[in-house]
Every structure is written in C-alpha cells, then in structure tokens.
Structure 1
Amino acid sequence: MSDTNLVNWYIKSQPVYKRLANKVESFLIEYFDMNSIGYHIVTSRAKTIESVRGKGNSGKYNDPINQIQDFAGIRIITYVEDEISLIQKVIEDNFDIDVENSSNKSEALGIDKVGYQSVHYIARLKQDRLRLPEYKQYEGKCFEIQIRTILQHAWAEIEHDRNYKFSGKLPDELSRRFKILAGVLELADKEFNSISNQIDDISASVDEGTKTGKLDIPISSTTLSQFLLTRFKTVIETMGVPSHDSEGVLVEELNAFGITTLSELESIIPEDIEKFYIASSNGSLHEWGMVRSLMLLHDFRKYGEIVKSDEPGDWCNSSSHIDTEFELEYYKKHNVDWNELAQKYNYCFDLELESGL
C-alpha cells in the first residue's frame, strides 16, 4: 500500500480509533474505581497521522492497515508492581487478547539485562459488546494496552518517547551509565513495592488486633488510621471515611500525651463515644477531631499543656465547636472546662456558644 493511500485511509478512520480508545479508557477507570483496584492514571490516544505515515514508511509492513495494531492505544500507570498483576487479570477477563502479539517486556529482558519494562496487550472488544449497536463501528479493530509502574514509565519516557538525546548508539561509557540508571530504577521499583506490601501487612495486623483485642501495637499514622477505621467502622460507614493524618501530627500529640500504643489509646475511649462522634461530626468525620476529642475528654488539662505554647487559634478543630445539647452535656460529664482551656492554654472554641459553657 502506498504512503498516500495509508494516510488517506487513516484520516477517515482516525475518529473511530479515537472513540475506541476513549471507550476503553472510560471502561477501565470505572472498573478500577468500582472494584478498588489501585492505579495512578489511565490515558488513551489515537495515533497521529504523522506517526502512521512513519510506520507505513518503516518497511516493516506489507499490509499496514491490517498489520499495524496500535492505531488506538491505552496506557495504565500503576504505583507499584503488584498492582500490575491485578490489572492484567482485568484486561484478560474483559477483552479478547491476541496472545501471539502481546508481550511482557520485563520477561523479554531475561535475568542479565536491564532496560525498558512494560506489559503490552493487543486486544479487541468481546463479541457480546460488539453486538450492541453503538459498538458495531469497532468490529475488527484492535488496540494496544500498556501497563507499567510510574518508575517504569519514567524510564520509558526518557529512553523512547521524549528526549532524542538518549536515542541511537551512545558512547560506551554513557551507555553503561544509562543502563546502571535503569537498574537503580528497577531496584527502587521493587523496594517501593516491598514497602507498600509491609504497610498493607501492618494495616491487616491492626484490623485483626482491633477485632481480637490484641492491641500492643505502636502508634503510627498507618496503625492509627486502620485502628479508627476498624474500631469505629459503623460510625465511619455512616458519616464518611476520616481523612488521613499524613503529616503525623496526631502521632506526635498522642506520644506527648503519653500514649504510644493502640492498647493505651483504647483505654481512654469513653462510653458512648460513637454517639458523641455522630453529634459532633457535622456530617463527616476526620481523624483530628476524633483523636483530639479523646484526649480532651480524658484529661483536658494534660492536653492543654501540649498545645499551650502555640498561638491562639492554632488548635481549632471539630472538638471545639459545640452544636448540640448532647455534645454540651457529654463534655460537662467529662468535666471539660472550655473557659479554662481558652484562658490558660490558648485553646479556641466557638465563641457564639461560650455562654452555654
């Protein structure tokens, strides 16, 4: 086929391949989100006309229209390697895979080489979907799906896509350094994956420990979040998932309060706290209000000593806005003196309700 014929054909066909790529991208994002499958980003594209012209002129194809298989392409970027295998199962379950033309570039490298790593699928929509009228236009059309981690993607972008400086034959010394860098990225990828798995293991142990009462577990941002999610599962499912203490502020406050393990935190949780959380949440929960309330309710003066060196207003949070009679009575029951907190420890509260305290 001549270059002109290929390009003219693709000018007419490109909109269909764009729609196909968008359909697959949308399906995958929705599937991943609905099934809580981790990923970083999913993107799609149809090949540019210039790219198709270049492939047609490469001399690799006798019949480029039928032999070029990536007119439409979808790329899935994951955070860690273990997410790739989960996504592979989704791809294999939901599309017809051309096994002969699909590949795993990592396996192709063997054990003694480093470099480009990615899983490539050549796929088509399944017949049950093609029978739907809106999908008839995609009959016989294949597409490529690439799956790689963020670090594999970074390597691929540098080596293949974005920077001509790194293409072709490099001087030996530069080529060696380039390959060493690929090895470093591969090791980092595996280490991120290992750390991610260990964090998951910690969360699982906290979940089990909370259910069984075995809570001799040091407090960290990870263990604290999982403890709250398990311990107050019913309330959180009703009111919303609490935001994560990503900076470790609550861990520092708890440690200063003398609480270093989950069992110690469990020991200061008062009766009927779930009702208090619902009354004080204003429709949603967050970790700061939940945990700080526990410290205030247990010993407001001790908590006041922790925060008194800060500027007034620094410690406003959900525990300092009293909106219901139940909250007011609950704080009174636990002898929390808000005026003393404000005057002696610079702890702010909702001044509109000061007279009620």
Structure 2
Amino acid sequence: MEKRKEGILSQYDKNKQLYLNFLKYFLNTIEGIVIEESIVLQSIESRVKTRESLEKKIELKEKYRSIEEITDICGIRIITYFSDDVDKIANMIKRDFELDEINSVDKRETDDPTKFGYVSLHYIASLKADRLRLSEAHRFKGLKIEIQIRTILQHAWAEIEHDMGYKAVGDIPIKVRRSFSRLAGVIELADEEFVRIKDDLQDYSIKVQKEIKDNDESEISIDLISIKAFVYSDGEYLQNVKESAKKASLPLLDISESKQEQEIFSLIVKVCNKLDINNISELKRIYFKYVKILEIIQLKEYEFITYVKTYVTTPLVKILRVLDSAASTDINSDMFITLYEEIYLY
C-alpha cells in the first residue's frame, strides 16, 4: 500500500503543472460555451487537488493503483441561480465533452424519500477526440476532470452541512433529523419556485412587449419590465427619439451599453410612482406633451456643448426629472424651461 501511494504521489508531483494547464484550458472552454449559450452563472470555482488531500484520499480508499484511476485531481464547481440552468449546463457538457458515465453521478436523483442534504450533479469528463487534435490540447489526452453543478441554494446547504460535519441521515441526532428534513424540503421548493417566478416574468415581458407594439397600453402598469418594453418596443417613442437625436446631430447610443442601465430604468419607475403615473399609456401621453419643448431647449443647449451622450432613455428621463422637480405632471412651457435650466444648466 505504501509503495503504491508513493508511486501515485510521485506521478502527481511530476505532472502538477500539466494538471494546472489542463484545468485552465478546461475552465476557459467551459466559460466560452456558457457565454455562447447565454447562461448567467453565480460563479465558477476551480482547483487542482493538493498533495495532502490526494494522500488522504489514497489512504482512505485503499484501492488506487495508479493516478489515472483518480478522476477528481482537477475539479470545477459551477453554481447557477436557477435549477433549470443545472440541466442546461449538464446537456452542454454531454454535448461538448467526453463523459465518463460510470464515474458520473446525479445526486439529485434518489428513490429514497427520506434522503436530504447535499444534492448536486457530478460529472467526470475529458476532452473529445476533435479537441485533442488541436495543437494546444493534444497534451491533455487521458486527463479527466470532475465537474460539480449545483444551484446557489444547494451550494448554501452543502457549505453549511460541511461546516456542521453531517453527511448522512444516520449522522444526525434523531431529535433534529425532522428539522433537517423539513429544511431540505423548503430549499427544494424554493429552487422550484424561483424557476417558476423566472418563467412568469419572461411570459409577462413577452405579453407586455406585444401589447405595447399593438398600442394596447392603457392596462399596462408601471414597473421595471414595462418601462424597458416601452423604451425598446414602442414604435412612436423610438421614432421620436431618433428624429430628435438627428435634429441635434447627436449619436443615439444603446442604453444597454451604459453601466447605469438598471439604475436609469429604476429611476424612471421611482419618479413615475412619485408623480402618480400609473400606466404606460399615461406615461406616453406625458412624454409627448413635453417633448417638443425639450427639443427646443436642447437645440439651443447643444450649440454650446461640444460632446453629448444621448441614449434612448435620455429625453424621457429629462422630462420626468423636470416634472419631479415641479411635483406635478401639469406645468406650462415657461415653468418647464425654468426648471430644466435649474437642473441641467446651472
């Protein structure tokens, strides 16, 4: 046993840099694919098992004859926000990498209704033949990596469970076992509910965009989703913003290019609530009531400014800020101009 252990550790020492390079290559590949698939992750963690950890594993298992039999020397942990993204990433890994089916395990699947605690998808994977033919990857032939995929809630459970030192039902004192089981059910339910909420929001967004494009806006209440849909989907609003920018010889930039995109939309919602603007139809009416005055002011203003950034939200935000200063949606032209100058010119 001791001789086998020393032989494996010697192989580890010899190939340590290769493992590090393999991990980096695999991590970069995974991150590139995740971006292509438009999956938003909470985090990706990676590690090469330390010599001390490997030595403990060999001593504990007492079955390894060579380092090739140990499949988790390199490891990646992918943490998602939503449980359905776990399945998307799992399918992506099956598609783009060689999966070791024998050593892979889905700990989410169990026939034991009393099982609780750490659930995660563990895949053992390697590079496919087509990738290994690439000059930068052929040296990684035969290397495997463990990929753990879990939601952020599953990760929280795993970290707490690890800190407490409990890994099986029998480890838990009987008096608190029921509490653990209840909590596990709550976490599983929360994962499912977050997916449902995400789907509901996506459905709502699609519905709102359609209603705005169809000019059926009177029943659309003000919120972050409806404001975004209005700015990006309302044909009359977009046409007016483009024409105004053209008159002032200003480049019209996509709001998504601004780091403050979320803050800008949140500001619009906040001001609408303060001014008691309750739906998109009302907001649109107010915008077109004041936009001509705004255009006149800005044409004069831009004669003295050499560089101005303007986004699709800029005129809407400026009008709302003026009205917010007046604490009213019904002011005359002179008052609008005075307040605008106080906010933007002095």
User: Under a length normalisation based on structure 1, what TM-score does the superposition of the two structures give?
Assistant: 0.76
Residue identity over aligned pairs, in percent, reads 30
- Give the match's secondary structure for 2:327: helix
Distance 2:339 2:280 in 1: 29
The alpha-carbon distance between structure 1 residues 36 and 334, as it changes in their structure 2 partners (threshold 3 A), is: farther
Matches within 5 A, 1:337-356: 337-340=336-339, 347-351=342-346
Match of 1:196 among 181, 195, 198: 198
The alpha-carbon distance between structure 1 residues 150 and 284, as it changes in their structure 2 partners (threshold 3 A), is: farther
**Partner amino acid, structure 1, of 2:129:** Q
Q: CA deviation at 1:340?
A: 4.6
Which position in structure 2 is the counterpart of 1:80? 82
**Partner amino acid, structure 2, of 1:295:** L
Which position in structure 2 is the counterpart of 1:315? none
**Partner amino acid, structure 1, of 2:282:** E
Distance 2:12 2:65 in 1: 13
Shifted more, 202-211 versus 131-140: the winner is 202-211
The alpha-carbon distance between structure 1 residues 290 and 100, as it changes in their structure 2 partners (threshold 3 A), is: farther
- Give the match's secondary structure for 1:174: helix
Deviations 1:173-224 (A, max 9, x none): 2333233222222222222222222222221212222222222211112221
Q: CA deviation at 1:290?
A: 4.5
- Indicate the RMSD between aligned Cα atoms, in angstroms: 3.4
Which position in structure 1 is the counterpart of 2:95? 93
Match of 1:223 among 219, 226, 232: 226
Distance 1:237 1:107 in 2: 51
Q: CA deviation at 1:237?
A: 8.6
Matches within 5 A, 1:123-272: 123-160=125-162, 163=163, 165-166=165-166, 169-215=171-217, 216-231=219-234, 232=238, 238-241=253-256, 243-245=261-263, 248-270=266-288
- Give the match's secondary structure for 1:99: coil
Unaligned runs of 5+ residues in structure 2 are 243-250
The alpha-carbon distance between structure 1 residues 11 and 212, as it changes in their structure 2 partners (threshold 3 A), is: same
**Partner amino acid, structure 2, of 1:205:** K
Which position in structure 2 is the counterpart of 1:355? none
Q: Looking at both structures, which has the greater relative contact order when contacts are Cα pairs under 8 Å and sequence separation is at least 6? A: 2
Distance 1:28 1:76 in 2: 10
Deviations 1:128-178 (A, max 9, x none): 111112212210111111111101111112223xx2544572321233323
Distance 2:336 2:315 in 1: 18
Which position in structure 2 is the counterpart of 1:30? 32
Deviations 1:76-129 (A, max 9, x none): 111111222222222122111122322211113654532221111111111111
The 8 Å contact of residues 252 and 312 in structure 2, kept in 1 or not, is answered as no
The alpha-carbon distance between structure 1 residues 220 and 108, as it changes in their structure 2 partners (threshold 3 A), is: same
Distance 1:34 1:159 in 2: 34
The 8 Å contact of residues 253 and 306 in structure 1, kept in 2 or not, is answered as no
Deviations 1:17-37 (A, max 9, x none): 222122121122222224422
Which position in structure 1 is the counterpart of 2:67? 65
The 8 Å contact of residues 219 and 251 in structure 1, kept in 2 or not, is answered as yes
The alpha-carbon distance between structure 1 residues 125 and 284, as it changes in their structure 2 partners (threshold 3 A), is: farther
The alpha-carbon distance between structure 1 residues 292 and 164, as it changes in their structure 2 partners (threshold 3 A), is: closer
Which position in structure 1 is the counterpart of 2:317? 292
Deviations 1:320-342 (A, max 9, x none): xxxxxxxxxxxxx9666443556
Equivalences, count: 314
Distance 2:315 2:30 in 1: 36
Shifted more, 98-107 versus 226-235: the winner is 226-235
The 8 Å contact of residues 231 and 312 in structure 2, kept in 1 or not, is answered as no
The 8 Å contact of residues 22 and 140 in structure 2, kept in 1 or not, is answered as yes
- Give the match's secondary structure for 1:282: coil
The 8 Å contact of residues 17 and 46 in structure 1, kept in 2 or not, is answered as yes
Unaligned runs of 5+ residues in structure 1 are 308-332, 352-357
- Give the match's secondary structure for 1:106: coil
The alpha-carbon distance between structure 1 residues 150 and 7, as it changes in their structure 2 partners (threshold 3 A), is: same
The 8 Å contact of residues 116 and 180 in structure 2, kept in 1 or not, is answered as no
Distance 1:218 1:185 in 2: 32
User: Under a length normalisation based on structure 2, what TM-score does the superposition of the two structures give?
Assistant: 0.78
**Partner amino acid, structure 2, of 1:29:** E
Which position in structure 1 is the counterpart of 2:326? 305
Distance 1:109 1:286 in 2: 54
The 8 Å contact of residues 325 and 339 in structure 2, kept in 1 or not, is answered as no
Distance 1:197 1:350 in 2: 44
**Partner amino acid, structure 1, of 2:338:** N
